[in-house]
Amino acid sequence: MSDNSEDFPVEKGAGPQRRFAMVRALWPRLIELWLSAVLVTFILIRVFGSQTARRLLSRFTHSHLP
Amino acid sequence: MRFLPPIFANLVLLASGLGFGGLLRRLFPESFSSIDRVALSFLGGIGILGTILFCVGQFWFSRSAILLVLVLGVLFGFRSFARTVRECRTIFRTVSGAGLPVIVVIGVLLVTAIGGLAEPTGDMNHDAIAYHYLGPKVWLRDALIRPVPDEAQTSFPAVVETEFAALMSLGGQRAPQFFAVFGLLSILLMAASLAMRLGLGSQGAWWTAALIISMPAVYRGAFGGFIDVLYAGFVLAAARIAFDAGRAGDYVLVGLFCGLASGTKYTGLIAWALLLLCSFLIAVGVRRCRLWAVLKSLGIVCGAAIAVAFPFYARNWIFLGTPIYPPPPILYKFFQVRYLPVEAILQYHAYILKRGAGLGRGLGAYFLLPFNLTFHTSNFHGAGGIGLAPLALAPIGLIASRNEWLPKALALLVLLLTTAWFFTQQESRFLIPVYVLLAVFAVLGWQYVARVGSKYARGLSAVVVTISILYGLYMIVPESLVDSHAAVSPTFEDKRRHEDIPYLQSFDYINAEPFVSKVLILDPYVAAYYSDKAYVKPLGRWGEQTLPDATNLQAVLSQACNLHVSHILDVLPEAGPLKLPENPQGLTLVFQGQNQRVYRVD
């Protein structure tokens, strides 16, 4: 396991300095994006896709009808 | 008072298991920590106890025989008891600093313990009723461990089922349900051992345990007679030792746990082969060990594993004509299989393939597995899935530990086990070893995000873990509360018995009536587990034929006298091949309930 807090998944010295800096800047954003994507998918599939949610939504959308 | 026998039986079994496990301590490497030692001696002890009971039970399986084996284990335990208590104290010291995950783990264990005291109920769709508990009940009645011919699945490897039998013998029908607590404990200890070996620390180990115990798919594999959690424990124990092994004793231990896994489930044979492959690749490719030394050590593993698993497969070969029963399609042509006609074998495999089809076996389905296992759990009979953490955080954990060889080895094992599972039977609980490893990687990933991630990423990862645990608990707890309710309320338990047990009135009559000595059960789908009296079932639900040339009612009835059957249980709605006519000759109706009749053989 990596102990270095500055340790990003790039081979140091493997590429030009600029590329390393770019990946270093992008990596935290990638983590955020990945985690957000998983959470959004969970909400869409497991929460809104569930029978209970569908029942509630359908009740809500039909509540204004006479 | 009705709770005391099952709890007492489980405590005796635990003490005996720890006693046998203590015998392994000499083989543990010096480098192993307290948690490693406790986890391995606990799991190893349970496995050895089950294997000894199985071997003794081939000749003698009365209560005295069971007690003798258990007392032997307890006597062995006296030598290592003080050391085990010391090591457990070391583990308990970590509780105070861990906080939330401890509450989750203890809460679920508590609910399991209370729910585990309820009487088992259900129909033939419950594996526990159909075979996990049926086998032990029949073995105890016959005082001998033999496959029950009308239920092919009682011939499965039986390390854990023999312990169910010991528990039933000492603590009654409720005792095996309570055993789920020890199953869960064993997998949590093993997970903590792996987590700490990967550098997570006690806090990380507790979070790993909380993630695992709140995975509904894992929980399902432990509760209600399921043995998958203990199987996973054996596989992970073998992996834990294999990748750090250096001495001959270490390889003997690896072999022992591979043998125990194969003695628990047939899939253990696949896990054993894959672990060998993985160990070979890592030893030669990463650790640069000499080829000859690696082959020699893997030979020791195989020798020990064969020695442990041999009794289970030899028993089947002797009594059923084939070591793996029902035999897989490659095997059945080479063996004279008893009780199962070829059509039944083929139908059984067709069923297995259909049930384990998941979302397909194509390349697309393979690469979408992480997503599907997380979000479409019902396609894998996943009981609510594994939570979000493995998908969200495990890949990050893998990336974070990319420079270490052990995570790579474990990741390779995950890949191999998942691939084998994908092409065989995609049943979620069969993948528990992988789920446990993914939970460890998920916590590694969480720690990595906490170290290098932004404030936003840290918040998101905390939300992922929270949702994982809460959603898992939401799936687990309500069902467990029903069991707990049944355990504490006799009125509710009785109501549940009447709702969940088909043909209960007939079984109550058969069990209470002293003149009933042996029952002929005509319908293959009637749960014979509920009969306290000896029984004969001519046809099993997988097409088993237990009486020679008796596939129609006339042939069966003509053999009834030779079988010393005193009564016949006939149920009405199912129109099977063995259906009694109205007012059958030579039989007297002695009990009639809704859709059920019991006849006395005149």
- The minimal CB distance from A32 to the residues B393, B444, B457 is found for B457
Interface test with A, best of B196, B197, B388 (most A CBs within 10 A): B388
CA separation for the pair A47, B295 (Å, rounded): 51
Q: Where does a domain end: B454, B482, B510?
A: B482
- Do B419 and B535 sit in the same domain of this protein? no
B455 touches chain A (CB under 8 A): no
Chain A residues with CB under 8 Å of B460 CB are 32, 35-36, 39
Phi-psi label, residue B143: left if phi above 0, alpha if psi -120 to 50, beta otherwise: left
**B587-593/B534-536 β-pairing:** unpaired
Is the model's pLDDT at B200 over the cut of 70?
yes
The shortest CB-CB distance from A32 to any of B376, B399, B454 is to B454
Residues in chain B within 8 Å Cβ distance of A28: 452-454, 457
Q: Are residues B128 and B95 in the same domain?
A: yes
Question: Are residues B162 and B290 located together in one domain of the fold?
Answer: yes
Say whether residue B199 is in contact with chain A using an 8 A CB cutoff. yes
B343 found inside a domain: no
Q: In terms of domains, do B226 and B269 share one?
A: yes
Average pLDDT for B62-77: 93
d(CA B223, CA B179): 8
The rounded distance, in Å, linking the Cα atoms of B597 and B577 is: 17
Q: Mean pLDDT over all residues of chain B?
A: 91
Chain A residue whose CA is closest to B195: A1
Test A28 with B460 for CB contact under 8 angstroms.
no
Residues B444, B401: contact at Cβ < 8 Å? yes
For B222-234, the pLDDT digits (tens) are 988 899 999 999 9
The whole domain housing B118 covers: 4-320+356-482
Residue B434 lies in a domain: yes
Q: Are B531 and B114 in contact (CB under 8 A)?
A: no
The reply to whether residue A45 touches residue B444, judged by beta carbons under 8 angstroms, is no
Q: Which residue in A has a C-alpha nearest to residue B453's C-alpha?
A: A28
Binned at pLDDT 50, 70 and 90, residue B516 comes out as: very high
In a domain? residue B338: no
| Co-location of B281 and B399 in the same domain | yes
Q: Is residue B336 part of a domain?
A: no
What's residue A66's pLDDT?
55
A contacts of B452 (beta carbons < 8 Å)? 5-8, 27-28
Give the Cβ contact number of residue B26 at 10 Å: 7
Contact check, Cβ <8 Å, B456/A2: no
- Which residue of B467, B469, B470, B474 is the best one to mutate when testing the A interface, meaning the one whose CB has the most A CBs within 10 A? B467
Q: Evaluate the omega torsion of the peptide bond into residue B216 and state whether it is cis, within 30 degrees of 0.
A: no
The whole-number average pLDDT for the span B301-309 is: 96
Confidence band of A1 (pLDDT split at 50, 70, 90): very low
CA distances from B320 to B301, B312, B326, B342 (A): 28, 12, 9, 14
Give contacts of B 535-574 with A, CB under 8 A.
Answer: none
**Subunit contact A34:B392, Cβ cutoff 8 A:** yes
Residues B452 and B518 in one domain: no
Q: Are residues B217 and B304 in the same domain?
A: yes
How far apart, in whole angstroms, are the C-alpha atoms of residue B261 and residue B268? 5
B418-430 pLDDT, tens digit each: 999 999 989 999 9
CB–CB of B403 and A35 under 8 A? no
- Residues found in chain A: 66
pLDDT for the residue numbered A10 = 54
Which H or E run includes B550? none
Tokens of A31: 């983590």
| Dist CA B199 CA B444 (whole Å) | 9
Q: Own/partner pairs for B75-79, CB < 8 Å, 24+ apart? A: B75/B19, B76/B19, B76/B20, B76/B22, B76/B23, B77/B15, B77/B16, B77/B18, B77/B19, B77/B20, B77/B22, B78/B19, B79/B22
Please state, in angstroms and rounded to a whole number, the distance separating the CA atoms of residues B224 and B132: 9
Task: Give residue B482's pLDDT band: very low, low, confident or very high (50, 70, 90).
Answer: very high
The structural domain count of chain B equals 2
Which residue of B197, B368, B451 is the best one to mutate when testing the A interface, meaning the one whose CB has the most A CBs within 10 A? B451
Which of B482, B517, B533 is the last residue in one of the domains?
B482
SS3 per residue for B20-40: HHHCCHHHCCCCCCHHHHHHH
Q: Confirm whether B334 is domain-assigned.
A: no
**Side-chain-facing half-sphere of B267: CA atoms under 13 Å:** 24
> What pTM does this model have?
0.92
Same-domain status, B531 and B583: yes
Whether residue B516 sits in one domain with residue B452? no
One domain, residues B468 and B514: no
Sign of CA dihedral B470, B476, B482, B488: negative
- Residue percentage of chain B with pLDDT more than 90: 71
Q: Give Cβ neighbours of residue B548 (< 8 Å, ≥ 6 apart).
A: none
pLDDT in tens, B87-144: 888 777 777 667 899 999 999 999 999 999 999 999 999 999 999 999 999 999 999 9
Q: B360 and B263, same structural domain?
A: yes
Q: Which of A32, A4, A48 is nearest to B396 (CA)?
A: A32
Q: Contact A35/B464, CB-based, under 8 Å?
A: yes
Closest chain A residue by Cα to residue B463: A39
* Residues of chain A found within 8 Å of residue B464, distances taken between Cβ atoms: 35, 38-39
CB atoms closer than 10 angstroms to residue B27: 17
Asked if residues B295 and B272 have their Cβ atoms less than 8 Å apart, the reply is: no
Contact call for residues B490 and B506 (beta carbons, < 8 A): no
Residues of A in contact with B388 (CB under 8 A): 38-39, 42
Cβ partners under 8 Å of residue B98, min gap 6 = B202, B203, B206
Residue B75 forms part of a structural domain: yes
Whether residues A36 and B388 touch (CB distance < 8 A) is answered with: no
Which of B387-422 are b and which e, b meaning 16 or more Cβ less than 10 Å from the residue's Cβ?
bbbbbbbbbbbbbbbeeeebbbbbbbbbebbbebbb
b/e B307-345 (16+ beta carbons within 10 angstroms → b): ebbbbbbebbeeebbbbbbbbeeeebeebebbbbeeebb
ipTM of the complex: 0.84
Query: Per-residue pLDDT averaged across B465-484, rounded?
Result: 92
Which residues in B lie closer than 8 A to residue A27 (C-beta atoms)?
452
H or E, element range at B289? none
> In chain A, what residues touch B449 (CB-CB under 8 Å)?
31, 35
pLDDT for res B307: 97
| Pair B514, B440 in one domain | no
Packing angle of the helix pair B34-57, B228-242 (nearest 10 deg): 120
Chain A interface, best mutation among B377, B401, B456, B466, by max A CB count within 10 A = B456
Which of B418, B451, B482 represents a domain boundary (last residue)?
B482
Q: With contact defined as beta carbons under 8 Å apart, do B351 and B336 qualify?
A: no
Q: Which residue of B has its CA nearest to A32?
A: B457
